[in-house]
Amino acid sequence: MREDCYDLSDKDIKDIVDRLVSGGSILFSFSPDQKTAYNIFLSSQYTKLNVLSFGGNARGQLILALQGMGGFMYVNPLGQPLHMNYISEKLHLHPGDAMQIAELILLIQNEYKDRFASLLNFTKDLDE
């Protein structure tokens, strides 16, 4: 990751997914408009101690949190794109920033899908 700006290149997205696929966590800065900057924490490796108060099934999900925003959410790395209103609600963001985070999540999901396309096709073939 480059430390001199908040723009993320294609290589940065690949580096993020590399870290997540290997079972790691990553913290990076992202700016939706070059005025506001968020520290985003993504993790694919965590232990759930008990029943989570907000429900949901954490298995197979990434955890995404914004430092200082008081919200976090699950992201299915191989799932459907997330709607900006859902992101806005979960991360306590106004719609413009939520849209930019939605686009970032979509880039990460697309990289996951590219990496696992052969596995996904294999699974699809089994279902048919």
Predicted confidence at residue 122, as pLDDT, reads: 46
Read off the pLDDT of residues 85-127 as tens digits, 9 standing for 90 and up. 888 888 888 888 888 888 888 888 888 888 776 555 544 444 4
Read off the pLDDT of residues 17-73 as tens digits, 9 standing for 90 and up. 888 888 778 888 887 777 777 888 888 877 777 666 655 556 667 777 887 676 777
CA 73 to CA 19: how far, in whole Å?
19
pLDDT grade, residue 3 (50/70/90)?
A: very low
**Hey, which bits of 45-107 come out as E strands?**
62-66, 72-75
**Predicted TM-score (pTM) of this structure:** 0.72
Boundaries of every domain in the chain: 10-127
Assign residue 116 a region (left: φ > 0; alpha: ψ between -120 and 50; beta: otherwise): alpha
